[in-house]
Amino acid sequence: MTETHLGAKAAPVRFEGVSKVFGKDVVAVDNIDLYVEAGRLVTLLGPSGCGKTTTLRMIAGLEMASSGRILIGDQDVTKLPATDRDVSMVFQSYALFPHMSVLENVMYGLTFSGYAKGEARTRALEGLDLVGLTGFDSRLPSELSGGQQQRVAVARALVLEPQVLLFDEPLSNLDAKLRRQVREDIRAIQQDLGLTVVYVTHDQEEALAVSDEIVVMRNAAIAQIGNPRELYDAPNDRFVADFIGEANLLACQITAVEGNTATIEIEGYTHSLPARGLQPGAATLAVRPSRLLIGADEGIPATVAKATYVGVRMEYTLTGGFGQVFAVHDDVDTPLDPGAEIRMAFAERGPVLLPD
């Protein structure tokens, strides 16, 4: 293999007060500010209709911002159409041109970038090599499997050495096993080449796995920005807590705050955790299913309503005075039966306070 020439001219992306309104009053993106550092992989995450795809398409130039400024590198690209932006995109449907061979597909963008034919061909072959499709160049897209088509789409976007590479739900057409593989490949290529990548998905696990930083969006606005760990362990509000991983939301009382530590109380059970600036009074506690301790000596009384065996663990639905929670437990050999009365406690780390 020849040494790869593919490099990156990775550039940062900046949104300044960008809005997008469709028609007269359908607000798809509402006044967002965003900064994507060069060479980082940033995920836009959110439920359908939250504006994440519109945001991505505004970076690509496929939608024009209704107001605000978009910068790539230090160039203002707000008014620039897709053709003239140095951005390339991997589509959800891959959008491979069915009448062209794999090599022609990958060369397509290069021919518009001023490369001589020979050079374009060399680069295209290098691109295919990079995604592990050496020798597939003369096939038609229809002769490839879904995962291979996906990789052709990635190669086609990569070889242009774009300032920003965009992914629009790239894994949604792949089966579950392939997804893990491909997302690891994408992450590896991104890190090797130091690309700036903006990645859209609605799958929180995928987002946690690939991202340097996650932007959670809701109702056309940004709900929270942070690295995977921050988002998972310290969500800003109920929405983020519930969207990133499952969370049980319990009403609680903050009885005391000392420094950064708050003490809370639910049905006589007390627990200490970071206060996050909250004052004594009513609050909401978010607890991940894996952070609920079942069968502790002391804790909140609860009844097992449902018990489900899913192979690697047990899943329980517990009811009690607090309402209903969902818990998982690794002990599959001695499962609890529905109807069992138990006590439920919280793990040392994990539970987090949310403003009410």
Q: Which residues sit at the interface with other proteins, rule CB under 8 A?
A: 60-62, 64, 75, 79-89, 91-99, 108-109, 112-114, 140-144, 146, 149, 153, 156-157, 160, 166, 168-169, 173
Query: Closest CB to other proteins among 164 and 231?
Result: 164
Query: Closest CB to other proteins among 72 and 186?
Result: 72
Query: Closest CB to other proteins among 104 and 230?
Result: 104
Q: What whole-number distance in Å separates Cα of residue 121 and Cα of residue 137?
A: 10
Minimum Å gap between C-beta 244 and other proteins is: 24
Query: Closest CB to other proteins among 31 and 173?
Result: 173
Q: What whole-number distance in Å separates Cα of residue 24 and Cα of residue 35?
A: 28
Query: Closest CB to other proteins among 80 and 305?
Result: 80
| 3-state SS class at 143 | helix
Minimum Å gap between C-beta 82 and other proteins is: 4
Minimum Å gap between C-beta 306 and other proteins is: 31
Minimum Å gap between C-beta 213 and other proteins is: 23
With b meaning 16 or more CB within 10 Å and e meaning fewer, what string describes 79-107?
Answer: ebebeebbbbbbeeebebeeeebbbbbbb
Q: Which residue has the tokens 């894996």?
A: 290
How large is the C-alpha radius of gyration of the chain? 24
Q: Are strands 281-287 and 248-258 parallel, antiparallel or unpaired?
A: antiparallel
Q: What whole-number distance in Å separates Cα of residue 132 and Cα of residue 151?
A: 8
Query: Closest CB to other proteins among 11 and 302?
Result: 11
**CA proximity to 28, closest of 219, 290, 235:** 219
Query: Closest CB to other proteins among 163 and 284?
Result: 163
**Which residues have a Cβ under 8 Å from the Cβ of 268 and sit 6 or more positions away?**
300
Minimum Å gap between C-beta 124 and other proteins is: 12
Minimum Å gap between C-beta 318 and other proteins is: 39
Minimum Å gap between C-beta 176 and other proteins is: 17
Q: Is the separation of the CB atoms in 259 and 271 below 8 Å?
A: no
Q: Is the separation of the CB atoms in 286 and 354 below 8 Å?
A: yes
